[in-house]
Chain A
C-alpha cells in the first residue's frame, strides 16, 4: 500500500473524471437520494460506504444509467452529460460490476466478456478475435486463476466469476469501474485476489468506485471514502488519515465527534 500512497499525490489534484452535484432521486414517496455530491478521480479507489438503505445501490444505478436521477448535475470530464441507459454510460467508459455478477451461466468466459458487444466480421461472430482480446485483458490484469477462457461460467468459483466480471468491465477501455460488493460472497484468499485486482485497476489510471460493507476491504485498497447516510453524502474522507472507528461513526450517525462537520447547515 505504501507504493500506491506515494503515487496518489500526483493524481489527487487531478480533475475528477465524474462529478455529481446535488443529486436527488425518489421512488414514489420515498426520497432515496437527497442532494448527493460525489467526485470520482482517475487513479484512485473511492470507497462508497453506508448502512443498508443509505442509497448506495440507487446512486450507482443512477450513474450506470439503469434508472435516471430526478434532478442534479452529472458531469463527465467537466462536461455535463445525459445518461439515459446502460449504453450511454458504457459509451462514456463507465462500467459496473454488480453484486449478483450479471453473468450468463450457460455461456463461456469469452462470450460473457463480450456480451452485448460481440465483435463481428461480415455479420458473423469473430470468435478468434474475441478470444485473443479476452486473453490479453486477463493477462494484462495478471489473472492466473482461470484455466481456460472457454470454460462455461457456471463451472467457475465465486472468485473466478468476480474476476471475469471485472475483466469484462475493463475490456472496453473503460475510464470508471464501479464494483458493487465484489467480495461479499468470497473466501479469504479469493477476497485477497479480487482486492489486488481492484488496486491494479486504479494503478492503471482508472477511476474505481468500491461499494463494500467490509471496512477491512475498504482500508486495504481505498484512497477516498465517501459515506452515505440516509440518502445524504455525510462526508468524503481521505482513507489514509481517518481511522476505522471514525468511519464507523460516520456510517452509523452521519457525523463524527472527533471532527465536527463545519458545513452542518441542517
Chain B
C-alpha cells in the first residue's frame, strides 16, 4: 500500500480498508457471519450428502459403500449432472429451461444417426450433436431474449416439440443403437491405472499453482482476502479428495477379476471434472461470466451499465442446450442406444432438482457449477441407496421430492434472512 503510506498532511485520506492480517480465525469468523446472514451456498447439500452416505453405509454398508457402487453412482448421475450444469447458467438469469431433457434426447438421436446410420467418425458425430444443441438454444434464446416470451412457456413448447422431433428422428418406438467404440467407451470404459494417477497429480499441482499465484498476487498488491494458510488448507483438501477418489476408482471392481478386470478412473468422471473446471472458470474469471451474474442480479442495472443483456441471455440458453447435448451423449452411451425415453421422464426434473439442491437460487443471480455436481450426487445417492434398502420406488420419489422442497425452502428462507440482515 505504497499509496497510503504518504498521505497529504493537509487532507489525510484514510484507506477504505486496512489490509488487515487475515488469519484462519478471522476467515472462519467471516464465513460463519456469512452463513448466519443467509448466504449458505452449497453447505446444506454437502452436509446432507455426508449424512446420507453415513446412513446408507450403516444400513447397507456391504452393497452401498464399495468401489463398484462408487463408480456406479457417477455413471448413474452423469447425465443429470451435466444437464444441471447447463441449467445453472439459465437459472442464474432467473430463467428456466424445461426442454433440456429432450434437447439431450434429440441431440443424442442426431449423434446416433450421424455415427451409426451415416457412418461418420465419432468426433464429427459429437460435433453435429452439440451443434444441434447450440441451434436449439439459439432459437429458445431468441424467443426469450428478443421477443420477451417467458422462458417457462417457450421451453414448455420446446419440451413438447423436441419430444416430437426426437420421435420423428428415431422412428416411433424404435431405437438407434450406438456401435462406435469411442462413443460407447465414454460411459463404459476406464482410464488405465497409471493415467488416472497422472491426471490426479497433474490436477492437484495445477490447482495448487493457479490458486497460489492468485493469492500471492493479492498479497503482493497489499490487498486483503488472501491467506497462504487458507490456500494451503484448501489445496490440501482438494489433494486429499482427488487422491482418495483416484485410489478408490483404481481398486478392482469386478466381481470376477480373473475373467474381466474392472478398475481405473471412469472416463466419464474425467469429463465431469473437465466440464466443472472449464465452466467454473468461465463463470468466475471472465467478463462474460460476471455479466451473467449481473443480469441475474439486476437486469436493469446491467443494461444501464452497457451490458448487452439480450446477448448474455442468448449465450446462456445456448450454453444450456449445448451442455444438454453432451448429457444426451452420456445417457445414450450408457444405454448403448437412443430410445424414446432418452432424456425423458424424470431426467429434466432431476437436473433442476440437482441444481437447486446444490444451492443455485431459482430467483437468479446466485449459483455455481459445483452446485450441479453436489446436487446431482445427492439425488443419485438417495435413489441408489434407497433402492438398495429395497424401498418401493414410490417412497424413493417421495423422499426425493421432500429433499427438493427442503432445498427450495432453504433458498427462500436464506433470501428472507438476507433481507432481514440488510442483504436484500
Q: Which residues of A contact B (CB under 8 A)?
A: 66, 85-87, 90, 96, 98, 100-107, 111, 115-118, 120, 123-125, 127-128, 131-132, 135-136, 138-140, 142-144, 146-150, 152, 154-157
Contact = CB atoms under 8 A, between A and B. Distances in A.
A146 B301 contact: no
A148 to B, nearest CB: 5
A87 B39 CA distance: 34
| Interface size of B as a range | 35 or more
B421 interface: yes
A3 B98 CA distance: 63
B365 A139 contact: no
Contacts of A103: 298, 301
Nearest to A89: B306
Contacts of A149: 16-17
Contacts of B10: none
19 contacts: A86-B305, A86-B306, A103-B298, A104-B293, A104-B302, A106-B365, A107-B290, A115-B302, A116-B291, A116-B302, A127-B218, A128-B217, A131-B223, A135-B16, A139-B14, A143-B16, A146-B16, A155-B37, A156-B422
B259 interface: no
A106 B368 CA distance: 13
A105 B422 CA distance: 11
Contact of A154 (B11, B286, B422): B422
Given A142-B11, A155-B422, A132 B301 contact: no
A66 B287 CA distance: 23
A155 B294 CA distance: 16
B296 interface: yes
Contacts of A157: 422
A148 B297 contact: no
- Nearest first, the 7 A-B pairs at minimum CB distance are A116-B305, A104-B297, A106-B297, A154-B423, A106-B365, A102-B301, A116-B306
Given A115-B307, A123-B286, A139-B4, A102 B16 contact: no
B114 to A, nearest CB: 32
Contacts of B39: 152
B118 interface: no
A147 B306 contact: no
A125 B304 contact: no
Contacts of B218: 127-128
B17 A118 contact: no
B361 to A, nearest CB: 9
Secondary structure of the A contact surface, majority rule = loop
Given A106-B365, A140-B13, A148 B224 contact: yes
Contact of A102 (B225, B300, B365, B424): B300
A4 B286 CA distance: 44
Contacts of B221: 128, 131-132
B15 interface: yes
B297 A105 contact: yes
A117 B304 CA distance: 12
Given A118-B287, A139-B3, 9 more contacts: A85-B306, A86-B304, A87-B306, A96-B304, A117-B306, A124-B285, A132-B223, A140-B13, A149-B16
B263 interface: no
B17 A146 contact: yes
Q: Which of B217, B304, B305 has the most CB of A within 10 A?
A: B305
Nearest to B219: A128
Nearest to A132: B221
Contacts of A87: 306
B418 interface: yes
Given A128-B217, A146-B17, A154-B423, A111 B304 contact: no
Nearest to A141: B13
